[in-house]
Chain A
Amino acid sequence: MQATANGAQRARLVIVGNGMVGHHCVEQLIERGATARFELHVFGEERQRAYDRVHLSEYFTGSCAETLALCAPDYYSRHGVHLHLGEAVLDIDRERRELVTAEGRLGYDQLILATGSYPFVPPIEGSSGNARLVYRTLEDLDAIRAAAADARRGVVVGGGLLGLEAANALKSLGLEAHVVEFAPRLMPVQLDSEGGAALKARIEALGVGVHLSRATQSISAGEQYRYRMNFDGGEHLETDLIVFSAGIRPQDALGRACGLEIAARGGVVIDSQCGTCDPRIFAIGECASWNGSVFGLVAPGYAMARNLAARLLGEAADDFTGADMSTKLKLLGVDVGSIGDAHGATPGSRSYRFIDEANSVYRRLVVDASGKHVLGAVLVGDNSYYDTLLQYAQNGIALPADPAALILPQGGGAPALGADALPDSATICSCHNVSKGAVCAAIDSGCADLAAVKGCTKAASGCGGCAALLKQVFEHELTARGVTVDKSLCEHFAYTRQELYGLVRVEGIRTFGELLERHGKGHVGCDICKPAVGNILASCWNQPIMDPALVPLQDTNDTFMANMQKNGTYSVVPRIPGGEITPQKLIVIGQVAQKYDLYTKITGGQRIDLFGAQLHELPLIWGELIAAGFETGHAYGKSTRTVKSCVGSTWCRYGVQDSVAMALRLEERYKGLRSPHKLKFAVSGCTRECAEAQSKDIGVIATDKGWNLYVCGNGGMRPRHAELFATDLDDQTLVRLIDRVLMFYIRTADKLQRTSVWREGLEGGLDYLKQVVIDDSLGLATELEAQMQQVVDRYECEWANALGDPEKLKRFRTFVNDQRADPDVHFVRERGQRRPAAPLQLIPTHEEAM
């Protein structure tokens, strides 16, 4: 390291600290072309380059240091920034304008302190080792993980935002988690007492112990567990480890040592331009104190970084004027929101409250004395109200006549504030400070799609919480400008799926290449149009999807005729029509699962899913299944999945028709049918509806005269009851109507549109569908039936077809030049079966946090 600043051309700017705010500052500097004027040096105490502390708990549920990193490994070097990692700055020599590390000294012209904060650990007798863990850095998390290895119970001291995060982390490590809080409620800063109570009830329901108004006096050896925490008042709690999350303290040691002004409650004192008492030194983020306050959230730190970067480059820059501490997060899976003056501390303010003790839901709206404007809000249990309330609070939008309506249950959350009601100054993205006006400007400067607006403004690229609002504003603004929203499939086809379906059928097109040449652009296509066209071709002509011309079109699940799981292995689902299976076949499935050590689970569609097969094992597994008489279950395709059935009149005392026989007939007919999205069927033998047919795309319920047909139902994320379509049908008519409904859906639905959504978008609704299908108002009925018959006649089991063709089997090799299995696939055993080992578990626990 050189001791002198570099020549006269470029001033040397040093940033001490490589956390989220320090990194953001570097990004802002680079973006503004700072490297032309400054020689940039960044010092980080940790070995790891800047990472996302907001999503730290994901480290225990699948993320690694690399996925949490905020930039590519070569980001700094690519921009000529000198990054010194694992090199703590020990001292700042303000007189000689040099900083000191263990490696030597480095001169600076200007210096930015971004050293962040450290966890506060109250001095408690007996607290050391695993009874004195903290939750701040990746190293801290490694220590927690190590301590949890042989632990059963863990306690977090501190019931604030970070403490509950830490409790979540302990829970995801498989520990019984407890939270001990000194205050009489959880999240005392953000919540009032009713909100705290609702949160406590919710968290306790998740099995996390909550202990309020407890001060830990000492820690001694435990009897049942390793430690015993002794509270004042005589109570105690035993535990194997203790994580302290009782607040943060600004990391201001460097500033203190070199004589910068320090605030009474800690932190390097800064003015509104982030300047300290030394004109060459600045401070940003959690190490800085502005107006007596330290801001422990990312957004204010980013704002400081942004303002300072602009100022250092001589651009017009905003002053830092404090921060909105509004917060919306998911803690332990519970929605918690806090906006503005959540406690109603403003003189004259009044509150509206909604309390639902049965469901532990709480909402409070704080309005000003005039009753015209929102000052703040508290939300527990349902954050769907947050965005609208925040817009009211931030933009001073006048309240409706009955403000209580904003927090009363609406079914769909608070009445959404339309995009047109927002003023241009309304903040859309608070992470990157993007206003509605900036979004409009981006559209006017030529951003034609949402991705371009995101790229140009950076909106929705921070925590992502504003993505839905951004889309709404974008589409509203486009419409306002008279632009029709482009419905092209992708950049290669300026057609909708329906239009492409028509072209394929009318022109008899059989391959993707042919369609692309006649009606598309380019020579390759993409991952949107290729599977969509592959699906249309299969719906129309039902060629085997393993035909060489079709293989490159399929998504990986269709290509390998199995369902890829999170660790890259596959699950295998043999068809079990109607859920009926002989003992002999059941034994074969068991034997195959045992032989290949496959995790076995019964599906909701009355069949059996076998998990954990590697690519090269698929043909071997299917060879055995097919030899025993099984066929592919198409669980991987946008196609018919299952026909669920109850046992029906053959066994059931209530049954009025043979529902199993009808289920078999339907599954036999429609198996292998490719459609815009998956199709689920069910047949119930009587009106008791044990097969749950009314939640299926096609539902059939027996009557004493025949069958009632229900269509376009759905379970899953957006449940929809199927609608009664026709009654008392005989077997043949039933099948004819189903033929027509399904083919009409396949012709006219959008890509990846389930029947329920298709039906809701159908102009004329159910009556129109009845006219087309039952009354044949379009004269299409014969054609629809003929097309279905063609697909049915061409059915063959794709797996049987592939096993007979060595050329097709070539693809089922993990490595084409080596016999080994994927060495990175690891399993652990749980409840007598294997499952993917932990590092690959990817369950985002934290929707968003700021």
Chain B
Amino acid sequence: MNLSNTAVASETRWQAVCQASDLVADSGVVVWHEGEQVALFYLPGQGRELYAVGNRDPRSGANIIGRGLVGNLSGEIVVAAPLYKQHFCLDSGRCLEDPGQALRVWPARLSAGRVELSLG
């Protein structure tokens, strides 16, 4: 890696994907983001309020993660995939039941009434 790359990488670029009002409290919605389906989970009042993970369920192959139920298992915020109910950690995308499955995760933030995802 050369020096100029390092400089670019350290400066995260953000892209707005939807309005904060599109989010549903304690639940998920899905956005189309550069050819990918990203599920956004909004937990107002929690330590971290916004999570962005891949919408495709690796077990079923269907795009359904955004319609899963959010929960807290042993201190980790998770979503239960709606078809086969396996849990994914929203923070890391790790599957609690099967290390062979994982969801992609995106850094996400709320900024000026909009939801932004990191492009970096």
Decide if A522 is an interface residue (CB 8 Å cutoff).
Answer: yes
- A residues near B46, Cβ cutoff 8 Å: 523-524
B107 CB within 8 Å of chain A: no
CB neighbours (8 Å) of B68 from chain A are 527, 556
CA A568 to CA B82, docked complex, whole Å: 9
Partner of A567, one of B26, B58, B62, B71: B62
CB neighbours of A73 from chain B (8 A)? 102
- List residues of chain B with CB within 8 A of the CB of A842: 60
The 7 closest A-B pairs by CB, nearest first: A526-B71, A568-B62, A552-B26, A527-B80, A524-B72, A818-B32, A556-B82
- Nearest Cβ in chain B — how far from A486, in angstroms? 15
Q: Which residues of B contact A9 (CB under 8 A)?
A: none
A-side binding surface: helix, strand, loop or mixed? loop
**Interface-facing stretch out of A329-337, A390-398, A590-598, A809-817:** A809-817
Is the C-beta of B49 less than 8 angstroms from some C-beta in chain A?
no
Interface hits, A552-599 → B, CB 8 Å = 552, 554-557, 559-560, 564, 566-568
* B105 contact set on A, CB distance < 8 A: none
Q: Which residues of B are found within 8 Å of A523, using beta-carbon distances?
A: 45-46, 72
Q: Kindly state whether residue B25 has any CB partner on chain A within 8 Å.
A: yes
**Bound CA span A525–B72, Å:** 6
Contacts of B10 in A (CB 8 A): none
Q: For residue B119, which residues in chain A have a CB less than 8 angstroms away from its CB?
A: none
B residues within 8 Å of A by Cβ? 17-18, 22, 24-27, 29-33, 37, 43, 45-46, 56-64, 67-74, 77-78, 80, 82-83, 85, 87, 99-102
Told that A66-B58, A839-B61 touch, could you supply 12 new A-B pairs with CB distance under 8 A?
A: A552-B25, A552-B26, A552-B70, A554-B69, A559-B67, A816-B18, A816-B29, A816-B31, A818-B32, A822-B63, A825-B63, A840-B60
Given A69-B100, A71-B99, A566-B62, do A816 and B30 touch, yes or no (CB 8 Å)?
Answer: yes
Closest Cβ–Cβ distance, residue A351 to chain B (whole Å): 42
- Once A552-B27, A817-B17, A840-B61 are accepted as A-B contacts, the answer to whether A491 and B74 lie under 8 Å apart by CB is yes
Decide yes or no whether A530 CB sits under 8 A from chain B. Answer: yes
Give Cα A566–Cα B61 distance, bound, in whole angstroms.
9
Tell me which residues across on chain B come within 8 A of A527, comparing CB atoms.
68-69, 71, 80, 85, 87
Q: List 9 A-B contacts (CB under 8 A).
A: A70-B100, A524-B26, A526-B78, A527-B80, A527-B85, A555-B82, A559-B67, A568-B64, A818-B32
Partner of B61, one of A62, A72, A564: A62
Q: Are B71 and A525 in contact (CB under 8 A)?
A: yes
- Chain A contacts with B in 674-732, Cβ cutoff 8 A: none
Closest Cβ–Cβ distance, residue A61 to chain B (whole Å): 12
A123 located at the interface, meaning its Cβ lies under 8 Å from any Cβ of chain B in the complex: no
Asked if A136 is at the interface of the complex by the 8 Å CB criterion, the answer is no
**A813 and B29 in contact, given A62-B61, A525-B72 (Cβ under 8 angstroms):** yes
Say if the beta carbon of A531 comes within 8 Å of chain B: yes
**Residue among A75, A811, A825 with most chain B CB within 10 A:** A811
> Is A824's CB within 8 Å of the partner chain B?
yes
With A71-B100, A548-B25 known as contacts, the answer to whether A820 contacts B32 (CB < 8 A) is yes
Inter-chain CA distance A563–B31, complex, in Å, is 22
Is A146 on the interface with B (CB-CB < 8 A)? no
Interface set, chain A 13-65, CB cutoff 8 A to B: 62, 64
Contacts A524-B77, A564-B82, A810-B24 hold; do A530 and B61 have CB atoms under 8 A apart?
A: no
Q: Is A492 an interface residue (CB 8 A)?
A: yes
Residues facing B in A799-821 (CB within 8 A) are: 810-811, 813-818, 820
A422 part of interface (Cβ distance < 8 Å): no
A551 on interface, CB distance cutoff 8 Å? yes
B72 and A810 contacting across the interface, CB-CB below 8 Å = no
Of B17, B32, B33, B57, chain A has the most CB atoms within 10 Å of the CB of B32
Q: A815 contacts B62, CB within 8 Å?
A: no
The docked-state distance in angstroms from the alpha carbon of A191 to that of B32 is 55
Q: What is the chain B residue whose CB lies nearest that of A71?
A: B100
For B25, list chain A residues within 8 Å (CB).
548, 552
- Whether B32 contacts A815 by the Cβ 8 Å rule is yes
Which A residues are CB-close (under 8 A) to B64?
A: 556, 564, 568
For B102, give its contact among A72, A524, A548, A567 (CB under 8 Å). Answer: A72
Chain B CB within 8 A of A6 CB: no
In the complex, chain A residues whose CB is within 8 Å of the CB of B33: 817
Distance of B77 from chain A, by nearest CB (Å):
7
- B73 A526 Cβ-Cβ under 8 A: yes
Residues of B within 8 A of A810 (CB): 22, 24
Least distance between A316 CB and chain B CB atoms (Å): 27
A67 within 8 A of B: yes
Closest to A819 in B: B32
Interface code A509-549, partner B: CB below 8 Å = 1, 0 otherwise? Answer: 00000000000001111111011000000000000000010
A814: nearest chain-B partner, CB-CB? B30
B67 and A564 form a contact (CB under 8 A): yes
CA A530 to CA B73, docked complex, whole Å: 13
Whether A530 lies near B24 (C-beta < 8 A) is no
The reply to whether B69 and A556 form a contact with Cβ atoms under 8 Å apart is: yes
A555 touches B69 (CB 8 A): yes
In the complex the two chains form, is A524's CB within 8 Å of B71's CB?
yes
Once bound together, how far apart are the Cα atoms of A813 and B101, in whole Å? 27
Query: Complex Cα distance A6/B61, Å?
Result: 42
Contact B69 A530, beta carbon cutoff 8 Å: yes
Residues of A within 8 A of B73 (CB): 491, 526
> Which of A67, A524, A551 counts the most chain B CB atoms within 10 A?
A524
Q: Give Cα A524–Cα B74 distance, bound, in whole angstroms.
A: 11
| Closest beta carbon of chain B to A565's beta carbon, Å | 9
Q: Is the CB of A72 within 8 A of B70?
A: no
Q: State the CA gap A203–B37 with chains docked (Å).
A: 44
Nearest CB in chain A: distance from B4 CB, A = 26
Q: Say whether A524 contacts B43, CB under 8 Å.
A: yes
Say whether A815 contacts B102, CB under 8 Å: no
A556 — which chain B residues lie within 8 A by C-beta? 64, 67-69, 82
Chain B contacts for A568, CB-based, 8 A: 57, 60, 62-64, 67, 83
User: Does B71 lie within 8 Å of A530, measured CB to CB?
Assistant: yes
Which residue on chain A has the smallest CB distance to residue B30? Answer: A815
Q: Give the CA-CA distance A555 to B78 in the complex, in Å.
A: 14
Contacts of A548 in B (CB 8 A): 25
What chain A residues lie within 8 Å of B62 (beta carbons)? 566-568, 824, 840
CB distance from A450 to the nearest CB of B (A): 13
**Which of B67, B68, B87 is the most central at the interface, judged by chain A CB atoms within 10 Å of its CB?**
B67
Tell whether, in the assembled complex, residue B31 and residue A560 are in contact, meaning their CB atoms are under 8 Å apart. Answer: no
Closest chain B residue to A62, Cβ basis: B61
In the complex, how many angstroms separate the beta carbon of A614 from the nearest chain B beta carbon?
10
Considering the complex, give the chain A residue whose CB is closest to the CB of B42: A552
**Complex formed: what's the CA distance from A525 to B63 in Å?**
24
In the assembled complex, the CB of B54 is this many whole angstroms from the nearest CB of chain A, namely: 12
The A809-850 residues at the B interface (CB cut-off 8 A) are 810-811, 813-818, 820, 822, 824-825, 839-840, 842
Partner of A566, one of B31, B83, B87: B83
Which of B17, B25, B32, B69: most chain A CB closer than 10 A? B69
User: Do residues A524 and B24 form an inter-chain contact, with CB atoms below 8 A?
Assistant: no
CA distance A567 to B62 in the complex (A): 5
Report the Cα distance A205→B108, complex, angstroms.
57
Question: What are the residues of chain B within 8 A of A566 when measuring CB–CB?
Answer: 60, 62, 83
Among residues of B, the one whose C-beta sits closest to the C-beta of A522 is: B72
Chain A residue at minimal CB-CB distance from B23: A816
Cβ B99 vs Cβ A526 within 8 A = no
Contact A72:B100 (CB < 8 A) given known A552-B25, A555-B69, A815-B37: yes
Once the chains are docked, how many angstroms separate the CA of A134 from the CA of B65? Answer: 37
**Is the pair A811, B102 in contact by a Cβ cutoff of 8 Å?**
no
What is the bound-complex CA distance between A66 and B27, given in angstroms? 28
Q: How far is the CA of A548 from the CA of B64 in the complex (A)?
A: 21
Give CA–CA (A566, B108) in the complex, Å: 29
- Distance in Å: Cβ of A794 to nearest Cβ of chain B: 24
Contacts of A815 in B (CB 8 A): 30-32, 37
Nearest CB to that of A554 among chain B residues?
Answer: B69
Which residue of chain B has its CB nearest to the CB of A552? B26
